[in-house]
A and B are shown apart, each in its own frame.
Chain A
């Protein structure tokens, strides 16, 4: 099912199982800071 992320407002696909609590935050919000930092592309500033 599709849900809206409670932090970013973006829609994302979420697997739902009867016994699992449904999360409303995109899974990236549970990633470790190190993993997130490894995805940052430095030096892309726009005006």
Chain B
């Protein structure tokens, strides 16, 4: 590809963004074209797949004053930053909407007195880690502990349960029925775990003897 072809390709890519207002011809140097081609291509590639028309990008006017496109790097950086802001906003709103749907489901489950917390422990765990903003790496481990049932409760290391409860106490705002259910569930697990399997077996043996 020669210099003219590269310039044509660069300008036509700029044009496909529909963010350029052509008031003059654009005459970027070959080095400007080559140094910005990759970033522009990545941005255009992302724009092709963009389904949400609500995202708004800065518009650039090509005028006799900026026709050499010395600031092309900053135009593209500004668009990429706007794209990042959009992605973050979209991700945040998407997470918030998922959390709301979980809360609707959990509310029905918590208010259903025929169910035990362990019946919906996984959903409650997912809600709790999202509300506590627990790092992704920890979520799986915590979910395993949170959803432990029956005799497995006594196999968990007490210190792990204590750490998990301590994390929740630091990060989770009490007050909602979901937080209340989560705290109650974990404190019950901790109480069982501390009591130990031997204590439970002793109680059962005593009741059998009596």
Contact = CB atoms under 8 A, between A and B. Distances in A.
B16 interface: yes
A45 B35 contact: yes
Interface in A1-47: 4-10, 26, 28-29, 31, 33-34, 36-37, 39-47
Contact of A47 (B7, B9, B31, B48): B31
B189 to A, nearest CB: 53
B25 A6 contact: yes
Contact of A44 (B8, B26, B37, B44): B37
A39 B47 CA distance: 17
B1 interface: yes
Interface residues of B, number: 25
A10 B48 contact: no
A15 to B, nearest CB: 18
Say whether chain A's binding surface is mostly helix, strand, loop, or mixed: loop
A19 B82 CA distance: 44
A37 B14 CA distance: 11
B27 interface: yes
B41 A37 contact: yes
A36 B38 contact: no
B25 to A, nearest CB: 4
A9 B29 CA distance: 13
Nearest to A4: B25
A44 B38 CA distance: 8
B22 interface: yes
Interface in B1-18: 1, 4, 7-9, 11-13, 15-16
A36 B12 contact: yes
B63 interface: no
Contacts of B44: 33, 36-37
Contacts of B27: 8-9
Nearest to B67: A9
Contacts of B173: none
Contacts of B58: none
B1 A10 contact: no
Contacts of B38: 40, 42-45
22 contacts: A5-B8, A6-B22, A7-B11, A7-B12, A8-B8, A26-B8, A29-B12, A33-B16, A36-B9, A36-B13, A37-B44, A39-B9, A40-B38, A41-B37, A42-B38, A43-B38, A44-B37, A44-B38, A45-B34, A46-B30, A46-B31, A46-B34
